[in-house]
Structure 1
């Protein structure tokens, strides 16, 4: 069931004092930047329902659906025993299943709620969901193997029915944000592959069979979370200031847009955010709008 109007008690990552969470939708053609929901508790990582009617967000260890039109009201999904969901969550292409990450594992549950099923095994490898293949059969996960410092960072492709998955990439440098192009031909991700300065993440793409690795950005900024538009034409991503380590919260960041073939990027939005802003794909099904969360000071709320 979906429990409407319930606010979570507490948060795994609380808001910084003196800020709020604003869920916004940006129209890439008109430039309209619409506030659809504002909260005094943590909300993160909006991604659209396949019908385009709502956004899936997390906060306080739980997952909710937020309608994008009409009365904006969080409808919290009742997931049995799940109180530690993080900002890595996606809905299956057919709209029936919610995939989510919690405490180093990936789970599935009916999108209307119910009992979650763990898909990845416990152990030294921790899994963080970032992509679902166009046919819904495979999940792209960032992994951290605490038992293998030499190959500890990785990307694995995991069957959506469960398993350890196959290693697409591994190494000592951070890798994150893997997700498919709509035609299934490429997986985009961010990482420090070949970086001369620690922390300098850039965007890459690679084929699902491990061939064709190519760097797609090379700017001084620290670029994270490439999100492919449903029509395959554009990549939206998050840029942190040069010298940033990881993807911290409450930073001056930019949401930027580039062609999927590469080339120069343009800035769509400058905001206070970072962690939680666009951790998973936030494109609308019609490829016209991007959802994101900003964390401005309360004076702007």
Structure 2
């Protein structure tokens, strides 16, 4: 059995070859469908890149946490549970994706699809007593996003981030409704089945909250002070935005707690609370755009590096 250092060395050689040849590698992966998945360490917070086989399913990519049939889930799977937004390298393309493990009947359906395309995964499942997870990788860019050419100013970038945040919040609400519909359709004795969208809702909520927290930390620490130096007359605006960030942080905690109890919640009360939180969050984004977009419209993105003095 290879040592951990040998395994790391092999993985790194595959990564280097992949990046040097536009996604093409030789050896045991030659001719196969391979991507690079970069996750954020659940404990360390460090970036970790792993070469993985994948299977296409519609517009999504599927990766399987089989670890060749090992007894435990691989480290990259635990990482994406803690940090759902991952980076995918596919051929010469790089993009962010939301990683959502499938559950219940959907997991079984997707695993059957994987096995039809790549039968070896059936052997991996046969070697272990754990249920091998199937993870759906969905592009994280906002719907209609056409690539970095559209983002020319810092105003464009702010609007892109807000569009993504609004999209994730909309997805959370849609999946909550699907969960309540499944509960309402349950017939027969016994309790309704456990929510099949539990992980999906959790991952979207976590991605939304982490992205919003990072966005606000960047604004409070860098963006707002930089603008305020050039526009001191807007200090009241930035004070209000900073106060709203504290309110949004409270809403984030409330949203996470609310979604954690979706499987036992009263649908009408849950919908009302979720709608109220969503309205407050969207109102914050609206106000931020009204206050900041005119100020950022002439600031180039990405930031221009100063030219070296001769």
TM value normalised by structure 2: 0.24
| Structure number with bigger Rg | 2
TM value normalised by structure 1: 0.25
